Amino acid sequence: MRICVPVPCFFKGDFCDAIKTIGELGFDAAETYNWKKLDLNAVRKACQKSGVELLSMCTSEFRMTDPAFRQDWLNGLKESCEAAAVVGARKLITQVGPDTGEAREKQHSAIVQTLKEAAPILEKYGVTIMIEPLNTIVNHPGYYLWKSSEAFDIIREVNHPLVKVVYDIYHQQVMEGNIIPSIVNNLDCIAHLHSAGHPGRIELQFGENDYNYIFKKVDEAGYKGACGLEYRPTLGSVESLQEFKRLYRENITLKE
């Protein structure tokens, strides 16, 4: 399993210094969320120097459940793709927006249509867009998309190779469990994973899931993407990442 370090979860200072530290710790992939305050050219240089690939960022717009905001989302996708091109990121994560109160089938259809209209932009830049189901119990009350099965349905309806899901193991453990079957039976829809220990969204080893077993089974099923460590470290950031390597070394890929 290739491991990806989300910079904002672990490092609050200079972004390029964080990329350097991630590389020195033996990881070869990172991700981030809001790219607008970054010096994108400096980030690209830091990644090249450290041997760390910036795998993904977030779009700048997130409202897809309401067709009134569709063009705003598409405009945000375009500018986010342009930013991704500068840093060399090939994936973008997007949320689908709040539950508007409309019938779910209408909101579902709005998301599908928005993603279909995104296809020419994604093809131009060679970027994969990834929708993310989130938990509505602990972290994201009022969010529309919480069922992984609905996320997979959306991807299959859109039916485009650059439209996928980021499957967050923490969020889905909160909402529904059944983690390994949900992942391995839907690998055609999944381009990225996120992970954290539940409860608390903390280190993996402090939660109720056996991540070594999850990593092993997902690898055996043929998953080729990465898994982001999207948790709040209770140890120091560097210590937390070092301890992750020690505990999960058997089932992860690290830099030589």
Helices (H) and strands (E) in the chain, counts: 10, 8
Q: What is the pLDDT of residues 138-193, one digit of tens each?
A: 999 999 999 999 999 999 999 999 999 999 999 999 999 999 999 999 999 999 99
pLDDT for res 256: 64
Burial class (CB in 10 A: 0-12, 13-18, 19+), 90: middle
Above 90 in pLDDT, residue 205? yes
Give the separation between CA 157 and CA 108, rounded to whole angstroms.
10
Give the separation between CA 157 and CA 78, rounded to whole angstroms.
22
pLDDT for res 197: 98
Other C-beta atoms closer than 10 Å to the C-beta of 52 total: 25
Above 80 in pLDDT, residue 255? no
Distances (CA, A) of 99 to 38, 133, 208: 31, 12, 29
Give the separation between CA 174 and CA 199, rounded to whole angstroms.
8
pTM above 0.85, yes or no: yes
What's the mean pLDDT in 21-28? 98
> Domain residues of the chain, as ranges?
2-251
Q: What is the pLDDT of residues 209-237, one digit of tens each?
A: 999 999 999 999 999 999 999 999 999 99
CATH number belonging to the domain at 2-251, selected among 3.20.20.150, 1.25.10.10, 3.30.2320.80, 3.40.50.300 = 3.20.20.150
Tokens of 89: 């990121």
Question: What percent of the chain lies above the pLDDT cut of 70?
Answer: 100
Question: What percent of the chain lies above the pLDDT cut of 90?
Answer: 98
